[in-house]
Structure formats: C-alpha cells, structure tokens
Amino acid sequence: MSGKIELERRNDSVVVLWIDNPAHRNALNNSLIEALAGHYRSLAADPSCRAIVVRGRGGIFCAGRELRDLRALQDASNDTIVATYEKLKALNEAVWFCPKPTVAVIEKYAFGAGATLSSWCDIALSEEAALFAYPEVHHGFPPSPALMALFLAVGRKKAMELVLTGRRIDAREADRIGLITRAVVAAALETELESLLAGLLRGGPDAIARTKQFVWHSDESGHRAAMASAVDSISLGLASPQARAGIAAFFDKRVPKW
C-alpha cells in the first residue's frame, strides 16, 4: 500500500494528522483508512490531546479512494468486501464519536472518501477555490457511507443532488449549503485555522466532551427525550471541577488553566 499518515504533535496540545500519499493525490487506501481510524481512537483517549486536525500534504486534502483497491475487491468474496467497508465504517465512527474537537482543513479538493471524511469532522475549513464532489455513481457504486453525514449537514434535497449527479461544487457553494464550516481565501487559511484552534482551546475539555456527547444523544432521540437529557447534561457539567474552575477564573478576571 502506498502512502502514510503522519502524526504531528504541536506544543499547544493540538495533534495534526497528515495524509501523505502524493502518488495518488492523497487518496485513501485500505492501509491509510486503518491508520487514520487507529490514530483517532488513540487520540480520543489521550489526555494530552485537546483537538485533532486532519489535512493533506502538498496542498491537497484528499482525492477520494484509491480505485485500485476497489477493483481488487470486485474479485473478492462478499465477506471480504463487507470486512473492508467495516474498516471505513470504523473510521467514520472514530471521527464522529471522538470526544475531542475534530477539524478538517481542505485545500485543492475533497472528493469521495475525502469529502466524507471532512463531513464527519465537527468543523471543516476550506480555501475558497477547493472543489468538493461525490463521484461514486460515475464509477457504478453508491456513496452510501457519505449519506448520513451529508443529511446532517445539508439536508436531503441538496445531498441527493450531490450524490446522484456527482456534480463538483466549489468551497463557496459548499459553505453556502452547510457542507463546510467556512470558506476563506487561500492566503488566510492558516490564520483562520489558528484563530479557530485558539477558540477551541479556550473551552474546558470536559465541557467540550459533554457537549459532543449530548449532540450524539440528541441526533439519536426525539426532541422531548433530548430536552430531558439536556437537563442532566448541563446539571452534571455545572457541578464538575472544570466548571468550578472556569467560573472562578471569570470572576478573578483570568484565563482558566485547562
């Protein structure tokens, strides 16, 4: 398998996962998918990690999935095909259910599996000129792993157009329909990222984790159950040591030490 995932630990407790597969424009193969999932699971349990950023080397986020992997699967047993896609499911789950903030930084393009990866992240920043597409139907198979994240982000009508036509959209349209968090000019991308990370690091780690847990619960329950759960979530959070430290810091006019 070509390529690798490089892990960069910054001094501010942010970890950057770099997709490095230049021969295939940072497309994901089976090995890279497993490596990414493993890193997200490990970092989820790592108290020294406060936020996770995923991006691509060489100014390219991810061109999708290496089609040679899929071509090889066509002659495999159904059990092997299912097992392969279970690994992609494991990556999607590791990103979505990570208790740490997850950020995707998109340059050049995010196609197929790359667009899906960014969709499962909490926050996606992109340069304005970047392109997004779900071209799977052009290759004769459905983009099923992308649909749940797409429905949460842009709604059914927009999602169906994207996946049924495979149409490419630029980051400005992706921003407008809610597929990404924000599109900025390329020259401002790093500054915007640093500003975002500074905001994330101001938050209490426990409060962020509890917020994400509530979002997962809310997505999977009705409004009435979610409202009831919100009472438990904020009540437990307010009594936590970090909440006590955060409120005390406010009255002392200082920044809390998380």
pLDDT in tens, 44-75: 999 999 999 999 999 999 999 887 777 776 77
pLDDT digits (tens, 9 = 90+) for 101-124: 999 999 999 999 999 999 999 999
Domain assignment of residue 150, given as a range: 4-201
Tokens of 192: 């915007």
- Looking at the fold, whether 136 and 226 belong to one and the same domain comes out as no
Same domain, 113 and 186: yes
Position 35 confidence tier, pLDDT thresholds 50, 70, 90: very high
15 pLDDT tier (thresholds 50, 70, 90): very high
> In terms of domains, do 246 and 179 share one?
no
What pLDDT sits at residue 238?
Answer: 52
Residue 20 has pLDDT above 80, yes or no: yes
- Regarding whether 127 and 94 lie in a shared domain, the answer is yes
Residue 56 is assigned to a structural domain of this protein = yes
Q: How much is the pLDDT for 243?
A: 60
* Residue 138 maps to a domain: yes
What's the mean pLDDT in 69-95?
Answer: 81
CATH of the domain at 39: 3.90.226.10
Query: For 8-31, what is the mean pLDDT?
Result: 96
Can you give the pLDDT at residue 253?
A: 76
Distances (CA, A) of 32 to 17, 151, 178, 220: 11, 26, 27, 29
How many domains does the chain contain in total?
Answer: 2
Q: Are residues 157 and 244 in the same domain?
A: no
Q: Based on the fold, state whether residues 84 and 117 are members of the same structural domain.
A: yes
Whole-number pLDDT of residue 22: 95
Span 161-177, mean pLDDT? 96
Shared domain for 93 and 215, answered yes or no, is no
Residue after which a domain boundary falls, among 183, 201, 219: 201
Mean pLDDT (whole number) for 175-198 = 98
Please identify, among 201, 217, 240, the residue that sits at the C-terminal boundary of a domain. 201
My answer on whether 96 and 197 are in the same domain is yes
- pLDDT of 244 strictly over 80: no
Note whether residue 191 is domain-resident: yes
- Whole-number pLDDT of residue 227: 58
148: three-class secondary structure by DSSP = helix
Are both 105 and 129 inside the same structural domain? yes
Whether residue 228 is contained in a domain is answered as yes
pLDDT value for 110: 97
Mean pLDDT of the chain: 89
Q: Are residues 190 and 144 in the same domain?
A: yes
Tabulate helix, strand, coil % of the chain (nearest 5).
Answer: 55, 15, 25
Examine residue 257 and state whether it is found in any structural domain, yes or no.
Answer: no
What is the C-alpha separation between 71 and 59, in angstroms, rounded? Answer: 27
Give the model's pLDDT for residue 79: 78
Residue 107 neighbours by CB under 8 Å, 6+ apart: 55, 56, 59, 60, 61, 126, 127, 130, 186, 189
In a domain, 92, yes or no: yes
Name the band, by pLDDT with cuts 50, 70 and 90, for residue 83. Answer: confident
Task: Judge whether 148 lies within some domain.
Answer: yes
Give me the helix-helix angle, 30-44 and 78-96, nearest 10°. 40
Apex 210 CA angle, 206 and 213, nearest 5:
140
Same domain, 146 and 214: no
Determine, yes or no, domain membership for 258. Answer: no
Quick one: 184 and 237 in the same domain? no
